[in-house]
Structure 1
Amino acid sequence: MAFKGSVQKVTNDFWAPVLLTLQISLAAAVIAGCTGIAAAAAMHKTSFKGKLLAETAFMLPLFLPPTVVGFLLLILLGKGKNFGLHVLFTKEAAVCASVVVAFPLMYMAAKTGFSAVSEDVQEAARIDGARELQVFSRILLPLAAKALTAGLVLSFLRAMGEFGATLMVAGNIPGKTQTVATAVYTAMETGNTGMAALWASTLILVSFLLFLIVRMLEKS
């Protein structure tokens, strides 16, 4: 009975951060997907003073150290207390951190996909009476579908591997905010290399398969 209880505990300890990581990554990919596509669509046909600055700001989280991103989010989310929002050290905080670091990848993929769509096709639709919303929904989105799908997968992968910013704003609370990345860190700190290897192998396998999908989309 003791052996069975130990096995069950190890199983629960393994799956808790894995399932939480998948939940957070999926939520972050959906949010980054919607905001990234919207931002790319807005920038696609517009030209205004400060556009370069805006696009630079969009891409900045991709190059900043995760701890710096986490520090900025810590300040921003901390101010939410003034409005009755207690987000820090919750699953929602982990999602926020993941969205911020995943957004640049989605924006870049969407922008590339939209730019590849022929202007002649879009103009022909306008001549036929299509409104801008129809051009976007019936031409831009379908023709850029591969790039958008790749962006969503990459956003999911980036969110799944997030560590520094998540640790700062969500902590590393087992069963509540502990993701695979932070769980591996804790396991190594406590000398539990076997569990760390198991989590790391799972993350590597999932990442490999998903990135393979992205590569296949590029080749198709």
Structure 2
Amino acid sequence: MIDSDFLHTTRTFYDAVATDYADHFRDLLAASPLDRGMLAAFADLVRAEGAGPVADLGCGPGKVTAHLHDLGLPVFGIDLSPRMVALAREAHPAVRFDEGSLLDLDLPDGTLGGVVAWYSIIHLPEERLPEAVAEFHRVLAPGGHLLLAFQVGDEPLRLEQPFGHPVSLDFRRRQPDHIAELLRRAGLTMQARMVREPVEDVESTPQAYLLARKPHDTAGA
């Protein structure tokens, strides 16, 4: 696995807050019909293509991974935090969860029918984003689909001592047009985008969802 200061900081942060995080956000997906709609559309597209398994990258406690499993996808989760992986395995024993970094996936080229990065690119420094997108492209099979979710904005948010734990982390908001351009440069074809307003008393910024596809003919990518 690639290691650097930001990976160490992110892993330490989520190991510390894992249990409180899982409890706090346990019902968030159930209360977000637009989020479930995007995940359902992604699942329909992956099933229609029949291109292979799906990886949920930065899966945290596994809520989205388990939801995709319930939608009928052959899905597994990968997270940087050992504690998050342990919680995911405990909560969802029917689903596979592994430790790993989305910058250096221990997966063969062209083997995934889908990749989900649900609020996991928000901790990457700007200069590492093209590297992550290239990795998404590498592991996707031709015809495979990618779904990204992230907060919209230009200014990062630094979260200090969440749930009373002595840790902090930067959350980097992104602009959909910029991320879409990175996807195009990597050889992925944009299919859809959605920006929704923040949920009152839960979120402070709009939320973006980008859906892209790896073309069957990638010779020019």
User: Considering the TM-score relative to the shorter chain, is it more than 0.5?
Assistant: no
> Which of the pair has more CA radius of gyration?
1
TM class, shorter-chain normalised? under 0.3
Query: What TM-score does the superposition give when structure 1 sets the normalisation length?
Result: 0.24
Query: What TM-score does the superposition give when structure 2 sets the normalisation length?
Result: 0.24
Which structure has the highest strand share of the two? 2
Pick 1 or 2: higher relative contact order, CA cutoff 8 A, min separation 6.
1
